[in-house]
Amino acid sequence: MSIITLIGYMGSGKSTVSKKVAKRLNFEALDLDEYIESQENKSINDIFKEKGEIYFRKQERFYLDQILREKKNLVLALGGGTPCYGDNMSLILKYSKSVYLRAHIPTLVSRLSKEQDLRPLIASLDKDQLSEFVAKHLFERRSFYEQSHFTVVIDQKTVEEITEEICLLI
Ligand code: S3P
Where exactly are the structural domains of the chain? 3-102+143-169
**What is the structure's pLDDT at 122?**
97
pLDDT confidence of residue 108: 97
Mean of all residue pLDDT scores within the chain: 97
Question: Averaged over 72-87, what is the pLDDT?
Answer: 98
Q: Which fold has domain 3-102+143-169?
A: Rossmann fold (3.40.50)
**pLDDT at residue number 52:** 98
Instruction: Read off the pLDDT band of 1 (50, 70, 90).
Output: low
Q: Find how far residue 159's CA is from the centre of its chain.
A: 15
Q: Is the CB of 79 under 6 A from ligand 1?
A: yes
Ligand 1 atom with the shortest distance to the CA of 119: 10
Read off the pLDDT of residues 83-118 as tens digits, 9 standing for 90 and up: 999 999 999 999 999 999 999 999 999 999 999 998
Residue nearest atom 16 in ligand 1 by C-alpha distance: 10
Mutate to test the pocket of ligand 1, among 33, 136, 142 (most ligand atoms within 8 A of CB): 33
Q: pLDDT band for 132, please (50, 70, 90 cuts).
A: very high
Evaluate if residue 7 carries a pLDDT over 80. yes
Among 6, 10, 34, residue to substitute to test ligand 1 (most atoms within 8 Å of Cβ): 10
Q: Measure 10 CA to ligand 1 centroid, in angstroms.
A: 6
pLDDT tens profile 8-46: 999 999 999 999 999 999 999 999 999 999 999 999 999
Q: What is the ipTM of this complex?
A: 0.98
The pLDDT, as a whole number, for residue 163 is 98
* Whole-number pLDDT of residue 107: 97
